[in-house]
Each structure stands twice: as C-alpha cells, then as structure tokens.
C-alpha cells in the first residue's frame, strides 16, 4: 500500500501508519497530489520495487473548509475569493486530473473518488468547497461514459468524530438531511458502495427529512440548479461573468 499526503507522517498519522504496517507492507510519501511529476515518480518507483502494476487509486485529498464556519456569509459562490477557489480546487480538481494522467497508461487500474454531498446539493455557504466536489461527479461521469474506465465517485455526508468536521457540530448538517456516519458503519457503507453497479453514489442522506426530499423533486431541480464552471484559459472571464450576474 502506497499512501501520499502533503503533511509529514508525525503524531496521530504516524500511529495510524504503524497500525497499517501490521497488516502488510505500507509506505508513505510526502507529496502534493496535484504534483503530477512527483506522483508519477512515486508510483513508478513502487511498481518497480513491488514488481507489479498499480491496482487502483483512492483519492481522498481535500482542503479543509471547517474554518469557514465563523464567516459563512463570506463563502457563498458570489462572495468567495479567488484564493479560496484555488485552494479548494487544487486537491479535488488539479489532483484528480493528475491522477487521471497517471492512470492513462494503466488501463486496468480503478479509481475511487471521495467527495461530499455538498457537491450535489450545494450549501448555504462553502461555495468553493461545493464546486470542487461537484467537479468529482462530473469527472466520474466522463471517466465512466467516455473513457469506459472503472470509477466510483462516493459523495459522503458528515463522518462522526473523524475527518474535516470532527470538531464541528452535527446539528446544521442534520437539519439539511445529512446524517452523521460512524466510522464502523462508514466502512460497511464503503464496501457496499464499491460493489454497487452505479459509478456515482450519495451516502448518508436522511430520506425522511422534508428539507432534503424537497430538493429531490425533479421539477425543482430543473428550476434551481446552477452550475459554475471554467477552463484554465477562460478563468478570468468566467470569474467576472459570475460576479456580474450575482
């Protein structure tokens, strides 16, 4: 198992790595997932070392948006800063594209993307975070339908006690219809999700919550969905258009 991450393997992370090492050979490389050259070098080295091709990639990297809770009004799509968009897009957008480039030469390798339900339902805030996660769903569609590659995009609600929202209250998400997922149950849901035939799954929804179910009505979806997208060559122009419309 080859793990990569931006931070050094110290503290709690070091202990987790030691636990994993008890199950088999595990190595950790400190690198940015958006660094395509570094990613290719790491994978090439370990394919040579282990004498086998890469089986697949779990892409969990993301920028933590939990610091936005104190200024939610400043993090809507209309008010979000370019710097925050760049921060959120680096792991989810640039990182996914770097992985895709890596996998083009490895047609048998599977790809599993970890995203958020915010990418599907948006948010009353967390605009850049929601947009970045929305990209994952669109990419999975293209990778599945156009490239005919094995892929899953799993859009999760809030995990309990772990991850980005470990220290944040659960009530706001629950009011919107996003259940909290305990880690043991999350692992069971993950195994069911990767065995399911669909390439895009929303996990942790409370289908008895009227706030959530009202957003699933087809007529409402057609009337209220908004997609904001850009290409690198048109980033400035599209950014200006979005601001003028909002």
Could you report the per-residue pLDDT of 54-81, keeping only the tens digit for each? 999 999 998 777 665 566 666 666 677 7
| Mean pLDDT of the 168-196 span | 87
Cα 138 to Cα 63: distance, rounded to the nearest angstrom:
19
pLDDT at residue 122, rounded to an integer: 74
Is the pLDDT score of 101 beyond 70? yes
Could you report the per-residue pLDDT of 184-207, keeping only the tens digit for each? 999 999 999 999 999 999 999 998
| 105 band by pLDDT with thresholds 50, 70 and 90 | very high
Q: What is the pTM of this model?
A: 0.82
Query: Which of 105-114, 132-141, 213-222 is least confident?
Result: 213-222
pLDDT at residue 220, rounded to an integer: 60
């Amino acid at each position: 198992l080859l793990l990569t991450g931006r931070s050094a393997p110290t503290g709690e992370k070091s202990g987790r790595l030691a636990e994993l090492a008890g199950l088999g050979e595990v190595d950790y490389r400190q690198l940015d997932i958006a660094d395509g050259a570094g990613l290719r070098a790491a994978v090439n080295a370990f394919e040579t070392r282990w004498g086998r091709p890469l089986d697949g990639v779990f892409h969990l990297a993301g920028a933590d948006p939990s610091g936005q809770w104190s200024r939610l009004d400043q993090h809507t799509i209309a008010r979000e800063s370019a710097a925050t968009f760049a921060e959120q897009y680096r792991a989810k957008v640039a990182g996914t594209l770097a992985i895709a480039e890596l996998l083009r030469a490895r047609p048998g390798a599977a790809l599993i993307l970890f995203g958020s339900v915010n990418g599907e339902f948006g948010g009353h805030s967390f605009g850049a975070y929601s947009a970045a996660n929305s990209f994952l769903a669109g990419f999975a569609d293209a990778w599945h339908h156009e490239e005919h590659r094995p892929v899953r995009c799993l859009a999760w609600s809030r995990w309990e006690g772990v991850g980005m929202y470990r220290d944040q209250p659960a009530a706001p998400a629950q009011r919107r219809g996003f259940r909290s997922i305990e880690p043991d149950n999350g692992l069971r849901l993950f195994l069911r999700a990767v065995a399911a035939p669909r390439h895009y799954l929303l996990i942790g929804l409370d289908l008895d919550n009227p706030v959530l179910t009202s957003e699933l009505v087809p007529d409402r979806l057609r009337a209220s969905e908004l997609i904001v997208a850009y290409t690198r060559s048109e980033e400035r122009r599209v950014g200006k258009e979005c601001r003028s419309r909002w």
